[in-house]
Amino acid sequence: MSENLRDPAAAVIDVGALTKRYGPTVGVEELDIRVGAGEVFGFLGPNGAGKTTTIRCLVGLLRPTSGRVRVLGLDPVADHRRLAPSLGYLPGELRLYPELTGGQTLQLLADLQGAATPRRAELCARLGLTAADLRRAVGEYSRGMKQKLGLVQALQHDPALVVLDEPSEGLDPLVQETFFELLAEARAAGRTVLLSSHVLPEVQRACGRVAIVRAGRLVTVQSVAALREVRARRVRLTFADGAGPRPLGAAESWSPRWQGNRVELLIPPGEVVGALRGLLALPVEDLTVEEAGLEEAFLDLYRTPTDQSTPTDEPGEQR
């Protein structure tokens, strides 16, 4: 089922058995991910799943408790100064210095990067950051404008690897379009992009493969196309007797959502027939079965019948 790259040497990002604990709390555990050169790779999971922890290990902010992390063939902590020139990073919770202007912020980060910023003017123009905006203090910016500034600082030095944590948060639809264009251009130019998100449509649109994490563990790595194929079926039943919610026997496993006499279940493709056998013993008046969207396929991976656990709370993802 997993579509992880097999050859570590070909991987721009090579994570093996990565575990990060914060005292007794597990951030991520035994995570394996490989991302190849030129990929736009999605990293999906709900808040608290371990995405930000993994990303912070990739960019060298956190030291793994155990496991292997290689980015562009380098150890992100030990080889930080060799790796960082090739990195562009947008944090999930972007924090800026409120008293600096947008222009001062970009210049400060460019000075720290120690590299030319060939794309700054173009990116500001395309994302709609005007010269007047850049003269204003960041503390006066809206959330969307801060996010635009975050994207510019991540891309202005044209890095080989871009790591974006929840990049479209706060962007209006027009700017989101520009953002997707930038991702497509990065892929066309052979850049590698790791895109962390809990917004499925943006992953569906931008990424070739996705890793899905839940409660700090890897659920699967698949191509977006394969994920569509295994998506769940949405089964809707209407009962004739007007008695409302009732026990559904084995089908209770599929997280029934009741609305009066109607119930909706998301059932994996291979389980639909078996589930319906039991359900049709009840006084069913109407029945529909349809393919769920990608969002439901994603959610289905969180709703395995045996796993009722909630994702781990981790320090880095409290929002």
User: With binding defined as CB under 8 A, does residue 89 bind another protein?
Assistant: yes
User: With binding defined as CB under 8 A, does residue 229 bind another protein?
Assistant: no
* The one among 118, 174, 315, 319 contacting another protein by CB under 8 A: 315
Contact 183, 189 (CB under 8 A): no
User: With binding defined as CB under 8 A, does residue 85 bind another protein?
Assistant: yes
Region from 77-85, 215-223, 225-233, 270-278 binding another protein, contact rule CB under 8 A: 77-85
Q: Going by DSSP bridges, is the β-strand pair 209-214/217-223 parallel, antiparallel, or unpaired? A: antiparallel
For residues 52 to 71, the per-residue mask of contacts with another protein, x marking binding by CB under 8 A and - elsewhere, is ----x--xxxxx--------
Q: Is the CB of 105 or the CB of 220 nearer to another protein?
A: 105
Q: Is the CB of 81 or the CB of 277 nearer to another protein?
A: 81
User: With binding defined as CB under 8 A, does residue 176 bind another protein?
Assistant: no
CA distances from 204 to 9, 62, 198, 272 (A): 27, 29, 11, 25
Q: Which of 131, 189, 177, 124 is nearest to 152 (CA)?
A: 124
Give Cβ neighbours of residue 208 (< 8 Å, ≥ 6 apart). Answer: 39, 40, 41, 223, 224
User: With binding defined as CB under 8 A, does residue 138 bind another protein?
Assistant: no
Contact 235, 264 (CB under 8 A): yes
* The one among 21, 80, 246, 262 contacting another protein by CB under 8 A: 80
Region from 88-96, 213-221, 227-235, 255-263 binding another protein, contact rule CB under 8 A: 88-96
Helices (H), ranges, 46-101: 51-58, 80-83
**Phi then psi dihedrals of residue 181, to 5 deg:** -65, -40
User: With binding defined as CB under 8 A, does residue 81 bind another protein?
Assistant: yes
- In which residue are the tokens 């080889």 written? 79
| Smallest distance, another protein to C-beta of residue 101, A | 12
Region from 76-84, 173-181, 190-198, 304-312 binding another protein, contact rule CB under 8 A: 76-84
User: With binding defined as CB under 8 A, does residue 152 bind another protein?
Assistant: no
Contact 69, 75 (CB under 8 A): yes
- Cα 314 to Cα 82: distance, rounded to the nearest angstrom: 29
User: With binding defined as CB under 8 A, does residue 96 bind another protein?
Assistant: yes
Q: How many helices (H) and strands (E) does the chain have?
A: 11, 13
Which amino acid, one-letter code, is at 122?
Answer: E
- Cα 248 to Cα 246: distance, rounded to the nearest angstrom: 6
Contacting another protein within 255-294 (CB under 8 A)? none
Residue 300 is encoded by which pair of tokens? 């289905």
For residues 23 to 42, the per-residue mask of contacts with another protein, x marking binding by CB under 8 A and - elsewhere, is --------------------
* The one among 37, 108, 289, 299 contacting another protein by CB under 8 A: 108
Q: Contact residues for another protein (CB under 8 A)? A: 56, 59-63, 80-82, 84-85, 87, 89, 91, 93-97, 99, 108-109, 111-114, 153, 315-316
